[in-house]
Amino acid sequence: MTALAPDPARRRADIAARTLRPDRWWVEPAVTAGVLLAFIAYSTWAAFQNANYYVAPYLSPFYSPCLAVSCVEGSSHTRIVGQWFSLSPALLVLVFPLGFRLTCYYYRKAYYRSLWLSPPACAVAEPHRSYTGETRFPLIFQNVHRYFLYPALVFNVILTVDAVLAFRNAELEWGHAGLGTLVITVNAVLLWLYSLSCHSCRHIIGGRLNHFSKHPLRYRAWTELSKLNQRHMELAWASLVFVGLTDLYVRLVASGIITDPTFF
Ligand code: FES
């Protein structure tokens, strides 16, 4: 029997219906779009507030490191950006974590499906007539993801320092902790786990090696990162939601709406 040669002019199956799936395939992209849009709306609002981002000893992760001369007293690690910058200091730093998330392999899948419907789900036709993937402008810039990883790791170090500094009381005496300390510490841990589970990070550690046997340490690290990598999606969501909640917590305490319970 002769195999039928594929017709190069026919790119899609000849099915009139958009999908034959009987299940509620639209729930996952709808929830994903809802959470992503809610985060974008909240983080944009919070970044432009330029207020209530610091209450001793807590600094919102959206404003850390606070680099502008205009940063409120006590919030700044180093004020290297002069008076010429009159906008919110959050705008100086958010471009790096946002760039890291925007180009993340997992988030790409999430927002291609949920926001661009390309495709919205498996076995559901997309509304677009052509597909060029990430081979052309502007999506070819998604390939810079690995370069966003390096500043993301630097930010994690800074947020870890913030977590250590949070073990002080409002008078900045060491050896104290409140609910804010716990919130800021969990936020830093989740951001580390998200970054270390990154596909690019896994490749940097274990990629381009011909023999793992000659690199036992890298093999060990790659094995551990591979376990984390399997949880990348969960860590992406947990760290995204928690970083927003951390800013909200600091904001509520700084504005006097709630008080920070003290543990010790
Ligand atoms: S692949 Fe998601 S952070 Fe790198």
In this structure, the residue with its CA closest to atom 2 of ligand 1 is 104
Tell me what the pLDDT averaged over the chain comes to.
92
In this structure, the residue with its CA closest to atom 4 of ligand 1 is 198
pLDDT at 7: 61
Q: Is residue 263 within 8 Å of residue 178, measured between CB atoms?
A: yes
pLDDT at 1: 46
One-character DSSP codes across the chain: -PPPPP-TT--S----SSB---S-TTHHHHHHHHHHHHHHHHHHHHHHH-SS-EETTEE-GGG-S--BTTSPTT--S---B-TT--S-THHHHTHHHHHHHHT-HHHHHHHHHHTS-SSSSTTB--S-S---TTSSTTGGGGGGHHHHHHHHHHHHHHHHHHHHHTSB-TT--BS--BHHHHHHHHHHHHHHHHHHT-HHHHHHHHSS-S-GGG-HHHHHHHHHHHHHHTTHHHHHHHHHHHHHHHHHHHHHHHTTSS---B--
pLDDT(3) > 60:
no
Q: What is the mean pLDDT of residues 158-171?
A: 96
pLDDT at 14: 75
Indicate if the alpha-carbon torsion angle 188, 193, 196, 198 is positive or negative: negative
The pocket around ligand 1, CB under 6 angstroms, is made up of 104-106, 145, 198-200, 232
Of residues 78 and 84, more confidence is placed in 84
Q: What is the mean pLDDT of residues 195-209?
A: 95
Residue type, 131: Y
Q: What is the mean pLDDT of residues 214-227?
A: 96
pLDDT at 6: 59
pLDDT at 131: 77
What does pTM read for this prediction?
A: 0.91
pLDDT at 128: 84
- Identify the residue whose tokens are 């919070």: 46
Q: What is the mean pLDDT of residues 194-223?
A: 94
Q: How far is the CA of 144 from the centre of ligand 1 (A)?
A: 11
Share of residues in the chain with pLDDT > 90 (%): 78
pLDDT(241) > 90:
yes
Q: What is the atom index within ligand 1 of the atom nearest the CA of 152? A: 3
Q: How far is the CA of 237 from the centre of ligand 1 (A)?
A: 12
* Site to substitute for ligand 1 among 232, 237, 240, most atoms within 8 A of C-beta: 232
Q: How far is the CA of 104 from the centre of ligand 1 (A)?
A: 4
Q: How far is the CA of 241 from the centre of ligand 1 (A)?
A: 16
Among the listed residues 44, 52, 35, 75, the one whose alpha carbon sits nearest the alpha carbon of residue 249:
52
Q: Is residue 142 within 8 Å of residue 40, measured between CB atoms?
A: no
Structure confidence by residue, pLDDT tens digits, 107-120 = 999 999 999 998 89
Q: What is the atom index within ligand 1 of the atom nearest the CA of 195? A: 3
Structure confidence by residue, pLDDT tens digits, 97-154 = 999 999 999 999 999 999 999 889 998 888 888 878 888 888 899 999 999 999 999 9
pLDDT(177) > 90:
yes
* Site to substitute for ligand 1 among 153, 197, 234, most atoms within 8 A of C-beta: 197
